[in-house]
């Protein structure tokens, strides 16, 4: 190949040198080989579409009170054509609330998971790479985080910082990075002695370059595994916090809906149309996270795979 | 002749985690991985460090490449102390000294394409003005290690190549920065017999072409005989014999070298065997004998060997031996322990 | 009659990428009291062959054809207790990295005694007595019986493993890379011991190794495998003095010798074929400087050449002439580079 031909082929080669792109390819590979992981991805896909399209698709504003033609508040309506899933005790449209609830779930789940992955991976990289006192300090912090009872602490912090959805996310990041950090550290410890990491040092790569260019892409799949599990945990935790009444009162989430239903004795009135849909949604979203996590796990640790 | 590399009384100790009992007893056990190694390597020369697993040869290599920090002793490269290098001085040392790894399957980042792996040294050292120029250089490097046509390897991942091809890529990567010193740690031990010769010939040709100074580390004396003009035999962290390769292998002086040479199996079944009469117990590097490290296994052990460590001193034929059988090695009262004299 | 007769044995691995034909029709016999060395590169099928003989193939591997007769009995037809009887009492195996298979929580002597009691039906006192004799046999002091594996060096552990293999007085010992993890001097000593025992006990030994020098040093006969097939077999002296197969000829100049100053080494260019889709012709043809038109589509059978030797090469009759050209011919192949080799296309005009 002449140098002019090489120049022409250059964009194609350099594109393929991007290493972070691999992560997406890995996700695709996971989905292709594991039906559960595929199901998880599909659930997230639907969730994303619903969340984005909620204002367009939802027949009503979820916060608006609805009235009957006679001017009465349309409270406690059973499912009907205008209100597919009925209305709440205050006359709000349940179907619209479920659709809008996807937004909260998605924001909480993904922002929290992203934060957990970033923080956990950074902690793990620094602790594992530098070892010594950096490692000791970061891992003792992780021990402290492990010692904190998760849910009570989350509730206390949210109550202290004020009930907003962003505080919920922050609290979850601060409490959930520990698992990711620990696991990434262990992985980095074993990668650090691999020849290709030593090769990077011999070639003159700085510590940061070695960490982020040479080690990080190799722990990223593991970070993703913990990220996908964190999505499930975050959605579940947000639902719990909201259900217990510490959530953001201005945001419609599935947990908030459950609390609403519980407080107005929907269960006693057998208003299944009210509490079953948000419950089901929480379950599906959490399950999807774990399904994807499982797919990653099988890809990362092939021995788990059934023969 | 200029000394490119001067290693003087190099030591590397690792503290041994002795557990609760050790902490209570207050004992600090230490592994002496490298225990006073001295040698010089001339510009353009080739030295083979021979020895069995655990003798400290790989640790010595990693100390020279500043992947580890020595406990004591010094390494001087072109007159400068390697331990004190940092910043741009360290970067320039990294450009001059390169390493070929034992396991080619692990020496390339599994998530990098071959092109990406080979661009890395050029990015780090800012060689080449444009990406196009860098890709040209990578293609040239692959061509030099006989991976042709180079473009077919650009987008391959390490797991798609065979061991022999991978080791060629590793060699190409090392040569991209135009080093003057090349250290190779068991470069072919993971490769199949039929392709070893190709990699060895390649390294020999390239280092002659570019007048590289080379340090080969191997347990295989035959490989060292093929690749190196000077051979040093290591045992438990020290050099027990060093000299011109032909002398060391044809007329081994140290009893350990003698045992090592006669233990190597020969592909010619008609050649008579010389028996090896030494014990197969190997002392561990944290229970070093007070005298000669080889005393426990030596068939010619004498009383003096048990408590006095022999010095590495010249005998005939340009060889230096650390053994009391050769009178020069018995240290006179004034001298301390360790091989202080500069070899060759 | 030979002790072990393998007849066109084939073994396949079932992988994600389809069936891999690891052993492709191996015919081989081992006489009583002979030490046979089986050499080949990694992936040539030598370990698979050994495991197939004693029925311990991995789960995704299966015997795809052929027969194995041991002392007249068809081993592949046996199962359960009958197979176990052969597997432990008449054929013993020293697997790769066997010394790591010693249980760290039991004394090595107890492990040895336990093997003899369970598999050989000996009483405890009998087994203890024999354990001491076995230890003496492999060159270990009887006091070592009371030690735990971590208290022994690698060489001593390997001796324990050999003692264990000999415990039930087998007729055939299969040793798969028995000294790979050991240092050169210790390797030499362990191999010497193995050879001496083989001679004094009149055992048959099948030594599997990638190191051709070990075979030259230790064995009576040599069997060379390449890409799942035997390419050459014969007595060690004859094969090493005058190989009949180009692969064996190539190996002779491919690695340095310690005893003689080597001229330039000559590699065998190229790589072994992918056994998921083995070539139609001779598997070595792409790397062979002597390949002719016929080699590319007609796989040569393992046939007798001169002096009771076997070779699988269409040009075996010309072996003496080829051998003298071999160093230059392989060197030419190195110079022309692996391109022509990798493409896998038959070179124009037969010989290069």
The pLDDT value given to residue A304: 54
Looking at per-residue confidence, does B26 or B137 come out higher?
Answer: B137
The pLDDT value given to residue C352: 33
The pLDDT value given to residue A306: 46
Chains that touch C (3 or more CB pairs under 8 A): B
Looking at per-residue confidence, does A66 or B6 come out higher?
Answer: B6
Q: Is A231 helix (H, G, I), strand (E, B) or coil?
A: helix
CB contact under 8 A, A204 and B155: no
> Residues A126-140: pLDDT tens digits?
999 998 899 999 999
Which CATH code, of 1.10.10.10, 3.40.50.720, 1.20.1440.60, 1.10.3720.10, is assigned to A31-304? 1.10.3720.10
Q: Chain C contacts of B282, Cβ < 8 Å?
A: 153, 183, 186
The pLDDT value given to residue C337: 57
Q: Which residue of A has its CA nearest to B101?
A: A195
pLDDT higher than 90, residue C39: yes
pLDDT higher than 50, residue A246: yes
CB contact under 8 A, B173 and A200: no
Rounded to the nearest angstrom, the gap between the alpha carbon of residue C346 and the centroid of all alpha carbons in its chain is: 31
Rounded Cα distance between A254 and A94, Å, is: 11
Percent of chain B whose pLDDT exceeds 70: 86
Q: Chain C contacts of B270, Cβ < 8 Å?
A: 237, 241
Q: Give phi and psi for C14, each to the nearest 5.
A: -100, 115
CB contact under 8 A, B170 and A9: no
Q: How confident is the model at residue B28 (pLDDT cuts 50, 70, 90)?
A: low
> Residues A195-237: pLDDT tens digits?
999 999 999 999 999 999 999 988 888 888 888 888 888 889 8
Question: Where exactly are the structural domains of chain A?
Answer: 31-304
pLDDT higher than 80, residue A4: no
Looking at per-residue confidence, does A306 or A32 come out higher?
Answer: A32
| DSSP symbols for A197-223 | HHHHHHTT--HHHIIIIIIHHHHHHHH
User: Which of B195, B199, B282 should one mutate to test binding to chain C, selecting the residue with the greatest count of C CBs within 10 A?
Assistant: B195
pLDDT higher than 80, residue C181: no
The pLDDT value given to residue C59: 86
Q: What is the 3-state secondary structure (H, E, C) of chain C?
A: CCCEEEEEEEEEEEECCEEEEEEEEEEEEECCCCEEEEECCCCCCHHHHHHHHCCCCCCCEEEEEEEEEECCEEHHHCCHHHHHHHHHHHEEEECCCHHHHCCCCCCHHHHHHHHHHHHHCCCHHHHHHHHHHHHHHCCCCHHHHHCCHHHCCHHHHHHHHHHHHHCCCCCEEEEECCCCCCCHHHHHHHHHHHHHHHHHCCCEEEEEECCHHHHHHHCCEEEEEECCEEEEEEEHHHHHHCCCCHHHHHHHCCCCCCCCCCCCCCCCCCCCCCCCCCCCCCCCHHHCCCCCHHHHCCCCCCEECCCCCEECCCCHHHHHHHHHHHHHHHHHHHHHCCHHHHHCCCCCCCCC
> Residues B95-126: pLDDT tens digits?
999 999 999 999 999 888 899 999 999 999 99
pLDDT higher than 60, residue A303: no
Nearest to C26 by CA among C52, C2, C1: C52
> Residues A37-52: pLDDT tens digits?
888 889 989 999 998 9
Q: Is B231 helix (H, G, I), strand (E, B) or coil?
A: strand
Task: Determine which of A12-16, A145-149, A171-175 has the lowest per-residue pLDDT on average.
Answer: A12-16
> Residues C278-302: pLDDT tens digits?
888 999 999 999 999 999 989 999 9
pLDDT higher than 80, residue A23: no
Chains that touch A (3 or more CB pairs under 8 A): B
CB contact under 8 A, B265 and C217: yes
The pLDDT value given to residue C338: 46
The pLDDT value given to residue B25: 53
Structural domains of chain B, ranges and CATH numbers in brackets: 229-344 (3.40.50.300)
Percent of chain A whose pLDDT exceeds 70: 92
A–B interface: beta-carbon pairs under 8 A: 89
Q: Chain B contacts of A10, Cβ < 8 Å?
A: 131-132, 135
What are the strands of the beta sheet with C61-70, ordered from one edge?
A: C18-30, C4-15, C61-70, C73-74
CB contact under 8 A, A6 and B135: yes
Q: How confident is the model at residue A307 (pLDDT cuts 50, 70, 90)?
A: very low
The number of C-alpha atoms within 13 Å of C292 and in the hemisphere containing its C-beta is 8
The pLDDT value given to residue A21: 64
pLDDT higher than 80, residue B26: no
Rounded to the nearest angstrom, the gap between the alpha carbon of residue A191 and the centroid of all alpha carbons in its chain is: 27
**Cβ-nearest to A204 among B119, B125, B151:** B125
The pLDDT value given to residue B262: 87
Tell me the two tokens of residue C341: 């080799």
Whether chain B has a CB inside 8 Å of the CB on C79: the answer is no
pLDDT higher than 80, residue C261: no
Task: Determine which of A105-109, B27-31, B227-231, C176-180 has the lowest per-residue pLDDT on average.
Answer: B27-31
| Mean pLDDT over each residue of chain A, to the nearest integer | 85
pLDDT higher than 60, residue C165: yes
Q: How confident is the model at residue B337 (pLDDT cuts 50, 70, 90)?
A: very low
The pLDDT value given to residue C349: 35
Crossing angle (nearest 10°) for helices C108-120 and C124-137: 120
> Residues C316-340: pLDDT tens digits?
999 999 999 998 999 888 877 543 4
The pLDDT value given to residue B171: 96
pLDDT higher than 60, residue B173: yes
Average pLDDT over residues B12-38: 71
> Residues B274-316: pLDDT tens digits?
666 676 666 666 667 778 988 888 888 898 988 889 999 999 8
The pLDDT value given to residue B333: 43
pLDDT higher than 90, residue B137: yes
pLDDT higher than 50, residue B343: no
For residues C193 and C186, the answer to whether their CB atoms sit within 8 Å is: no
pLDDT higher than 80, residue C343: no
The pLDDT value given to residue B228: 95
For residues B56 and B237, the answer to whether their CB atoms sit within 8 Å is: yes
**Cβ-nearest to B259 among C42, C185, C216:** C185
The pLDDT value given to residue C73: 86
Q: Which residue of C has its CA nearest to B249?
A: C258
Q: Give phi and psi for C93, each to the nearest 5.
A: -120, 135
Rounded Cα distance between A231 and A229, Å, is: 5
Chains that touch B (3 or more CB pairs under 8 A): A, C
pLDDT higher than 80, residue A27: no
* Cα of C283 to nearest chain B Cα, Å: 15
Supply the CATH classification number for the domain C4-98+170-225: 3.40.50.300
The pLDDT value given to residue A295: 81
The pLDDT value given to residue A31: 72
Nearest to B117 by CA among B47, B166, B180: B166
Average pLDDT over residues B63-73: 93
The pLDDT value given to residue B266: 77
């Amino acid at each position: 190949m002449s140098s002019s031909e090489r120049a022409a082929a250059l964009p194609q080669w350099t594109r393929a040198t991007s290493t972070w792109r691999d992560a997406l390819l890995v996700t695709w590979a996971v989905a292709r080989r594991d039906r559960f992981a595929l199901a998880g991805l599909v659930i997230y896909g639907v969730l994303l579409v619903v969340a984005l399209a909620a204002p367009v698709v939802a027949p009503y504003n979820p916060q608006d009170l609805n009235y009957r033609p006679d001017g009465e508040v349309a409270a406690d309506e059973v499912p009907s054509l205008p209100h597919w899933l009925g209305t709440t005790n205050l006359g709000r449209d349940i179907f619209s609330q479920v659709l809008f609830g996807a937004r909260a779930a998605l924001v909480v789940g993904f922002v929290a998971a992203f934060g957990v992955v970033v923080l956990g991976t950074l902690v793990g990289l620094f602790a594992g790479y530098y070892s010594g006192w950096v490692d000791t300090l970061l891992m003792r912090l992780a021990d402290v985080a492990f010692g904190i009872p998760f849910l009570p602490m989350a509730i206390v912090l949210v109550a202290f910082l004020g009930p907003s959805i962003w505080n919920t996310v922050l609290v979850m990041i601060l409490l959930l990075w520990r698992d990711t950090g620990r696991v990434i550290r262990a992985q980095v410890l074993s990668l650090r002695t691999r020849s290709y990491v030593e090769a990077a040092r011999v070639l003159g790569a700085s510590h940061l370059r070695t960490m982020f260019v040479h080690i990080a892409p190799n722990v990223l799949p593991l970070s993703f595994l913990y990220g996908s599990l964190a999505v499930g945990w975050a959605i579940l935790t947000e639902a719990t916090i909201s259900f217990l009444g510490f959530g953001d009162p201005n945001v419609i989430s599935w947990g908030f809906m459950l609390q609403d239903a519980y407080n107005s004795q929907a269960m006693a009135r057998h208003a299944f149309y009210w509490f079953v849909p948000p419950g089901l949604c929480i379950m599906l979203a959490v399950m999807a996270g774990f399904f994807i996590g499982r797919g990653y796990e099988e890809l990362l640790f092939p021995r788990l795979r059934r023969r | 002749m200029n000394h490119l590399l001067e290693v003087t009384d190099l030591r590397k100790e690792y503290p041994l985690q002795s557990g609760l009992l050790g902490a209570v007893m207050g004992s600090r056990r230490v592994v002496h991985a490298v225990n006073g190694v001295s040698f010089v390597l001339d510009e353009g020369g080739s030295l083979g460090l021979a020895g069995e697993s655990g003798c400290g040869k790989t640790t010595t290599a990693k100390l020279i490449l500043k992947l580890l920090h020595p406990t004591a002793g010094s390494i001087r490269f072109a007159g400068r102390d390697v331990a004190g290098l940092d910043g741009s001085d360290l970067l320039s040392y990294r450009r001059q000294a390169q390493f070929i790894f034992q396991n080619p399957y692990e020496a390339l980042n599994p998530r990098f394409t071959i092109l990406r792996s080979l661009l890395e040294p050029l990015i780090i050292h800012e060689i080449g003005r444009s990406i196009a120029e860098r890709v040209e250089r990578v293609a040239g490097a692959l061509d030099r290690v006989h991976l042709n046509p180079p473009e077919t390897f650009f987008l391959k991942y390490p797991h798609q190549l065979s061991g022999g091809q991978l080791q060629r890529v590793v060699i190409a990567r090392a040569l991209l920065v135009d080093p003057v010193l090349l250290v190779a740690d068991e470069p072919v031990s993971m490769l199949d017999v039929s392709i070893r010769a190709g990699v060895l010939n390649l390294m020999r040709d390239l280092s002659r072409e570019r007048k590289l100074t080379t340090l080969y580390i191997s347990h295989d004396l035959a490989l060292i005989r093929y690749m190196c003009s000077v051979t040093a035999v290591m045992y438990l962290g020290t050099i027990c014999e060093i000299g011109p390769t032909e002398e060391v292998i044809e007329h081994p002086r140290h009893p350990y070298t003698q045992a090592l040479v006669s233990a190597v199996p020969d592909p010619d079944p008609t050649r008579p065997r010389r028996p090896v009469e030494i014990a197969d117990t190997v002392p561990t590097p944290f229970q070093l004998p007070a005298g000669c490290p080889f005393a426990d296994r030596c068939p010619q052990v004498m009383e003096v060997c048990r408590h006095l460590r022999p010095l590495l001193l010249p005998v005939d034929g340009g060889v230096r031996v650390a053994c009391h059988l050769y009178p020069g090695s018995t240290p006179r009262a004034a001298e301390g322990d360790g091989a202080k004299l500069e070899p060759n | 009659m030979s002790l072990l007769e393998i007849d066109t044995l084939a073994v396949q691995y079932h992988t994600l990428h389809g069936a891999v034909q690891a052993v492709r029709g191996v015919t081989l016999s081992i006489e009583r009291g002979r030490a046979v060395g089986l050499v080949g590169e990694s992936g040539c099928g030598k370990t698979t062959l050994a495991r197939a003989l004693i029925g311990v193939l991995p789960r995704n591997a299966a015997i795809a054809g052929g027969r194995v007769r041991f002392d007249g009995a068809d081993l592949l037809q046996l199962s359960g207790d009958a197979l176990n009887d052969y597997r432990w009492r008449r054929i013993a195996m020293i697997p790769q990295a066997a010394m790591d298979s010693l249980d760290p929580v039991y004394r090595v002597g107890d492990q040895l005694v336990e093997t003899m009691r369970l598999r050989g039906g000996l009483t405890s006192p009998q087994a203890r007595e024999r354990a001491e004799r076995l230890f003496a046999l492999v060159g270990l002091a009887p006091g070592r019986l009371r030690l735990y594996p971590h208290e022994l060096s690698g060489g001593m552990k390997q001796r324990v493993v050999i003692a264990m293999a000999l415990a039930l007085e087998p007729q055939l010992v299969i040793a798969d890379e028995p000294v790979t993890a050991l240092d050169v001097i210790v390797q030499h000593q362990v191999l010497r011991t193995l050879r001496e025992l083989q001679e004094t006990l009149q055992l048959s030994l099948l030594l599997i190794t990638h190191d051709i020098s070990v075979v030259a040093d230790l064995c009576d006969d040599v069997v060379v495998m390449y890409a799942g097939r035997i390419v050459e077999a014969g007595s060690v002296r004859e094969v090493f003095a005058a190989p009949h197969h180009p692969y064996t000829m190539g190996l002779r100049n491919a690695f340095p010798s310690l005893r003689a100053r080597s001229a330039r080494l000559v590699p065998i260019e190229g790589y072994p074929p992918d056994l998921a889709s083995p070539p139609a012709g001779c598997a070595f043809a792409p790397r062979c400087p002597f390949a002719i038109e016929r080699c590319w589509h007609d796989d040569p059978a393992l046939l007798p050449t001169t002096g009771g030797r076997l070779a699988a090469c269409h040009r075996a009759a010309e072996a003496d002439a080829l051998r003298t050209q071999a160093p230059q011919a392989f060197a030419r192949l190195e110079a022309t580079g692996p391109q022509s080799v990798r493409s896998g296309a038959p070179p124009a005009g037969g010989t290069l």
